[in-house]
Amino acid sequence: MSDFSSIAPQYRQTAVLQKSAAERVFDLLAIGPADAVLDLGCGTGHLTNRIRQMTSGRVLGLDPAEGMIAEARRQAAANVEFQVGTAEELNLPAQFDAIFCNSAFQWFRDPPRALANGFAALRPRGRMAIQAPARADYCPNFRAAVDGLRRDPRTQSTFAHFHPPWFFLETAEAYAGLFRHTGFAVVSSSIEEVKQRCPPAKAFEMFESGAAAGYLNPACYEVPWPGGYLAAAREILARGFTRQAAADGLLDLVFFRIYLLARRP
């Protein structure tokens, strides 16, 4: 099973995409030396510990995966709190100056409710910054590799019952509108194309650090998996990335990402 709890022990080392994209979120949020900060969808807490270095205020990491929080607590910096919980269940009114949300927004089950809770958790003039995959074609390379699951006779009948767990919008204005509807004042919102040239094996490793928690999670299927499904799927996916490589053995990994900063008036 490839949910976030099961991949937690490896996530800190393999979440290359999530960590690199976080730098932009730090720039947007501009955490102050005494800010109370909520890391919403904190994963294993690597970035939450970095937040601790930026502020003397309260730092709380929240994630719905028990395995992620267990890993975060094992490696927590001093005076960093970690809790199991979802954005949809968040109930911490007016306790934070900033909400940091990196590579988690796409997993929210009920984005309007999650944003309403985030809005309530902020103090007046508090701000929230997000980075997340955006658009249906958020990563053309991942989608090309996944097409193999639809075609291969070992997986096609089962994969036909896959139900995507993600939330994507097609434009930066659509994301901004979602925030404004909750009451936020949107400071900036843009969808940007990010490219990285890498070997197929690295692309597959990146896939397994996030997207696999949907594509290779039996909870996202409407039928039980037959024996050998996971092994066959991983083989097909790995071959799909290899086929995308150029003559030099590398491929251009492309992502579309939303970067958004909003404030509570």
pLDDT band at 209 (very low <50, low <70, confident <90, very high): confident
Q: Mean of the per-residue pLDDT values for the chain?
A: 93
**DSSP-assigned beta bridge partners for residue 188:** 261
Give 63-95 pLDDT, tens digit per residue: 999 999 999 999 999 999 999 999 999 999 999
**Tell me, what's the pLDDT at 18?**
52
Q: Decide which of 243 and 209 is more confident.
A: 243
Give 8-48 pLDDT, tens digit per residue: 444 444 444 556 678 999 999 999 999 999 999 999 999 99
Query: Which secondary structure element, helix H or strand E, spans residue 7, and what is its range?
Result: helix 4-14
Over pLDDT 70: what percentage of the chain? 92
Average pLDDT, integer, range 103-127? 97
Buried b (16+ CB within 10 A) or exposed e, 201-215: ebbbbbbbbbbbbbb
pLDDT band at 2 (very low <50, low <70, confident <90, very high): very low
**Tell me, what's the pLDDT at 99?**
98
The C-alpha atoms of residue 140 and residue 136 are separated, in whole angstroms, by: 9
**Tell me, what's the pLDDT at 74?**
94
Query: What is the pTM (predicted TM-score) of this model?
Result: 0.90
Q: Which of 169, 186, 160 is nearest to 258 (CA)?
A: 169
150 pLDDT higher than 60? yes
